[in-house]
Structure 1
Amino acid sequence: MHRIVFAFPALEQHLRAVRSTPQSYRPDACGHCGSACLWCHGCYHRKADRSDDGLLNPVPVLRFRCSTCRRTCSRLPLCLCPRRWYDWTVQQQVLLLLLIGASLRRTAAVLGLSYYTVRRWWRWLQMHGVTFAFHLRSRFAGLGRATDTRALWLACFDRMPLCEAMAWLDHDGQDVP
């Protein structure tokens, strides 16, 4: 089962979809047992609106329950990052600055983030970069021309935003943040 749904790149779109078409989030089958009997099982809320006013918070994330194995799962829109407080656009800005040669401290200062957060994201990319590069190159032939990791990610960001790249990696079964 894919955790990230290839739709709703903005929080406003996600909120409209939760109200009007929640079935668009329903998985085809249970990720644990493969059964197709999944039912909506409420939602949990996240603070995903990082704007100054935070008017869209709390943001609902739909949950589904398998009637066969009784396990639950949730599906996230393209705009929400699993297991991270900051959204994909902020993370992409951090990675872009680091890829073009900015230091960790400078990147943190420019974007108003903690040095430790920036360092953690950078280490995460370095740790998973080879695996992610393999899957992205397998899916997008043009990325195969990149000679190193830096060139690959710069080419990737020219082609698509980080949220879309991570959704493709999630689709390939990779554990994205």
Structure 2
Amino acid sequence: MRRIVIGITSLEQHIEAVKTHPERYRPRCCPHCGIKVLWRHGHYERKAGRQLEQRSLNPVPICRYRCTGCQRTCSRLPECIAPRRWYDWSVQQEALKQRLKGCSEGLRADCGGPDERTVDRWWQWLKARGEVFEFHLRARFAELGRAAGFDAFWRRVFESMGLARAMAVLDHELSVP
């Protein structure tokens, strides 16, 4: 099951989509048992607006769906919200860009950015999963195949599609993050 809905790139778009087209978030089938009958089961709220310059839209609703077979619930996130992460993809991308440039300090925690240990974790995660991510992304996007090396590849990903879209594409085949 794709956990990320591609094409919803901002919290404003997400809030509007939940109000007008919540069915866009309905999974095709239950990720637990595979039954294809899921009913809307309210929503939960999540703090997602953690960008420095963004006005707070918190908390944002995340639609939940309940399986008629196994009675478990599931949900899908918009492209702009990272699963199981405190900061969204754009903040992570900016911090990782700084690392790719060779800067050890990105956004400062005292200015509302992520802590350096958090950025280190993201960097280690990207390094550890990088080969698998590169393989799948290069297979889908020919222009990424021209980038030689880890740093050049991720710079090209950030420039061409961004971390959010790359992770949404990868979500179909892999578990991200």
TM-score, scaled to structure 1: 0.91
Match of 1:144 in 2: 145
CA distance in 1, matches of 2:157, 2:72: 35
Structure 2 SS opposite 1:41: strand
Deviation for aligned residue 1:51: 5.1
CA distance in 1, matches of 2:107, 2:120: 9
| Contact 2:46–2:62 (Cα < 8 Å) also in 1 | yes
- Please, which runs of 5 or more residues in structure 1 have no aligned partner? none
Equivalent positions of 1:1-177 (< 5 A) are: 1-50=1-50, 55-103=56-104, 106-109=105-108, 112-172=113-173, 174-177=174-177
> 1:86-138 CA deviation, whole Å, 9 max, x = no partner?
111110001111111112xx224497431111111111111111111111111
The change in CA–CA distance for 1:19 and 1:109 in structure 2 (over 3 A counts) is: closer
CA distance in 2, matches of 1:93, 1:55: 19
CA distance in 2, matches of 1:33, 1:51: 36
CA distance in 2, matches of 1:130, 1:18: 35
Deviation for aligned residue 1:75: 0.5
Alignment-mate amino acid for residue 44 of structure 1: Y
Alignment-mate amino acid for residue 6 of structure 2: F
Runs of 4 or more off by more than 4 Å in structure 1? 51-54
Deviation for aligned residue 1:49: 1.6
CA distance in 2, matches of 1:31, 1:3: 9
CA distance in 1, matches of 2:22, 2:31: 19
RMSD between aligned residues: 1.8
CA distance in 1, matches of 2:32, 2:91: 32
| Contact 2:51–2:91 (Cα < 8 Å) also in 1 | no
> 1:68-99 CA deviation, whole Å, 9 max, x = no partner?
12221110011111111111111000111111
| Contact 2:50–2:87 (Cα < 8 Å) also in 1 | yes
| Contact 2:5–2:168 (Cα < 8 Å) also in 1 | yes
| Contact 2:29–2:38 (Cα < 8 Å) also in 1 | yes
| Contact 1:4–1:76 (Cα < 8 Å) also in 2 | yes
CA distance in 2, matches of 1:20, 1:107: 38
| Contact 1:108–1:118 (Cα < 8 Å) also in 2 | no
Structure 2 SS opposite 1:45: strand
